Amino acid sequence: MGNHKLAGFTIIETVLFLGISSFLVVALIAATGNSVNLQRYNDAVQTLKSTLQQQYADVASVENSRNNNWSCDSAVTPVTTGPTSYNRGQSKCILMGKYVRLEDEKISVYRVIGYQQATATLANDVLSLRNNYRMNVLTTDVEKTTLEWGTRISYPKTQYGDRNEAYAKPQNPRKLALLIVRSPDSGQIYTFSVSDADVPDDSGINPTNISNMIVAGGFSPGEAQGARWICINSDGLLNGNPTAIQINAFASSASAIETQSNDYMNTSVLGFKC
């Protein structure tokens, strides 16, 4: 009978196979991890975008479960006026909008209440809001959340890598406040914003700093009714290509809240990136 050789792998072939297999497994795990991180980051961005858009929906369709015998004292704190009531659906302490405070990863959403303190005939809604109405936040009804997956808001930068002073100040962490209010005179919704040192602490919001936010015009991006860009820092979830929330100038509805890619901002006339 003849001799028969048994077919098999050599030690070198086996080592090569295990090495290549290990490399593929590591690559697959890394790709899966990157995909999961990207999804988490996108979820965080979309959640913040939806939160901001929801405020416009709430302001446009106000729901008020209070009795109509409420009034506001001089500090714009709601108090009952006793058995005497006003016309159905009306009171002297009305819901006028929302106040959104963003700081780093923290989000605080307040209801804005107010009353008419004067009836002067003024040139436009903004002047009437500032001078004819006195507003404050309702501290007994605050929604406090945080950005998801460790993300936080941050500043735009110039194409050269430094912070763009036209759009952001060099404080860290970033702070931003939005006042979204509906004019009782016209029903029009307005958005006003301030940043950094002009943003009071949660316990320091009062009628004066709310009134100071109400300024007509979008003098330059990041002021008064001007546009805002909120970069979302991934805190290590992504290696690059972050996203920004864009609040368009003179925002009056949920459609004014958009997302913009870093590539778009860096190559567009905006001239900055996250």
Given this model, what pLDDT does residue 13 score? 58
At 44, the pLDDT band (50, 70, 90 cuts) reads: very high
- Contact yes or no for 45/148 (Cβ under 8 A): no
103, pLDDT greater than 90: yes
Closest CA to 105 of 230, 200, 229: 230
Average the pLDDT over each of 62-71, 190-199, 223-232, 260-269 and give the range with the smallest value: 62-71
Given this model, what pLDDT does residue 3 score? 55
- Contact yes or no for 258/48 (Cβ under 8 A): no
| Segments making up each domain of the chain, as ranges | 13-273
Given this model, what pLDDT does residue 74 score? 72
Which structure tokens are listed for 152?
A: 């936080």
At 65, the pLDDT band (50, 70, 90 cuts) reads: low
pTM: 0.80
Amino acid identity, position 40 = R
- Contact yes or no for 175/195 (Cβ under 8 A): yes
Regarding predicted confidence, which is higher, 218 or 180?
A: 180
Regarding predicted confidence, which is higher, 65 or 182?
A: 182
| Over residues 123-144, mean pLDDT | 92
Given this model, what pLDDT does residue 147 score? 94
Give the rounded percent of residues in the chain with a pLDDT score beyond 70: 70
Q: pLDDT of 73-91, one tens digit each?
A: 777 776 666 555 555 445 6
For the chain, the average pLDDT equals 80
| Over residues 250-272, mean pLDDT | 84
Given this model, what pLDDT does residue 234 score? 85
Regarding predicted confidence, which is higher, 271 or 24?
A: 271
Given this model, what pLDDT does residue 205 score? 95
Given this model, what pLDDT does residue 170 score? 45
Signed CA dihedral, 208, 156, 263, 51: sign only: negative
Given this model, what pLDDT does residue 197 score? 85
Q: pLDDT of 186-236, one tens digit each?
A: 999 999 999 888 899 999 999 999 999 998 876 555 568 988 889 998 877
Indicate the SS3 state at residue 185: coil
33, pLDDT greater than 60: no
| Over residues 236-259, mean pLDDT | 89
